Amino acid sequence: MDMMLFLPVAGTLVGVMIAAAVVVLQGRRYADLGFGVTQSKVLLPLNLKKSMFLTLSSALVLVLAVMTYFAVYAYIEARRPVPEAPMVRITYSMLGAPPSLTGSDVEQAKVAAGNVGAAPTVGIPKPVEDSKAANEDAATQSELGAMSAGAASDASSGSSLTVEEVIPDKSAYVAVDKSPEVIKSVEPVYPDIAKNLGTAGRVYVQMLIDVDGRVIRADVARSSGNASLDEAAIEAAKKWLFTPAIAPGGKPVRVWVMQPFVFKLN
């Protein structure tokens, strides 16, 4: 690419040399014809224009020729196939021993290929007669499966572990396709002490409905302000019965529901 910088200079020099040669040849030609000073004043501008044209055209031709050469050379080099390196096969014996991790040069012991250890003397099977040979057929896949199932059933029958029932969080959202519906509702018993005192109120109870629709837990979410009314609402809520909540996929799940209990004097 550095040679491209000298192309204009080289083209100009070549053009000047060609133009000078043209002027000299034209001068000699006109001298042979006998032209004087007056005729030279007319002919010299014509020769100068011709020299300038030759200078510029020759410089342009030179620049284009060199650029074409480099373009063709780059095109050929880009599409020249890369020679494949010869494949050299290296065996383990040619690699030698690996270097020591501790940095010390430890001499590797060379073991001759012909040195073979002694034959074992323990655990060699001895031939016996067919009548004395024991039948030790290997178990089939079905027999192995039956044995595994039996072991699993024995382990499960003898186990004393109990699975802890999961209680969902009251504030957690449980996705259901079908919400529980009331099958049986029980009115709370108005406590005599609250009735005699003329106490009324409303108790909000959260009931945990099991997968079979029974209420397995009841908690006071908002108290009425009277302990006897809250206890009466809890006792009534535990006797309610619902249809189980059905989660996506058709499986019943435990859910919490809110139910108000109103204590009002007639």
Structure letter (DSSP) for residue 122? S
Distance CA 67, CA 179 (A): 85
Q: Report DSSP state, residue 176.
A: -
Task: Enter the pTM of the model.
Answer: 0.39
Q: Which residue has the higher pLDDT, 214 or 133?
A: 214
> What is the per-residue pLDDT for 158?
46
Query: Tens of pLDDT along 202-259?
Result: 999 999 999 999 999 999 999 999 999 999 999 999 999 999 999 998 899 999 999 9
The yes-or-no verdict on residue 39 having pLDDT over 50 is yes
Span 182-263: which CATH code? 3.30.2420.10
For helices 7-33 and 37-78, the axis angle rounded to 10 degrees is 150
What phi and psi, each to the nearest 5 degrees, are found at residue 143?
-65, -40
Distance CA 255, CA 175 (A): 10
E strand residue ranges, the chain:
182-184, 201-209, 215-222, 241-242, 245-246, 252-253, 255-263
pLDDT over threshold 70, residue 72: yes
β pairing state of 255-263 and 201-209: antiparallel
Give the separation between CA 228 and CA 235, rounded to whole angstroms.
11
Between the alpha carbon of residue 251 and those of residues 98, 178, 199, 257, the distances in Å are: 64, 10, 44, 18
Query: Could you give the CA distance from residue 217 to residue 39 in angstroms, rounded to a whole number?
Result: 132
Residue 261, classed as helix, strand or coil, is strand
Work out the mean pLDDT of the chain and round it to a whole number.
75
Residues 6+ apart with CB under 8 A from 155: none
Average pLDDT over residues 14-42: 65
More confident site: 199 or 56 = 199
Which residue is associated with the tokens 């609250």? 194
Helices vs. strands in the chain: H and E counts, helices first: 6, 7
Task: Output the pLDDT for position 60.
Answer: 77
Which amino acid, residue 56? L
Q: Residue 7: what pLDDT?
A: 61
Given a cut of 70, whether residue 143 has pLDDT beyond it is no
In the chain, the amino acid numbered 16 is V
Residue 242 and residue 180 in contact, taking contact as beta carbons nearer than 8 Å: yes
Q: Which amino acid is at 148?
A: S
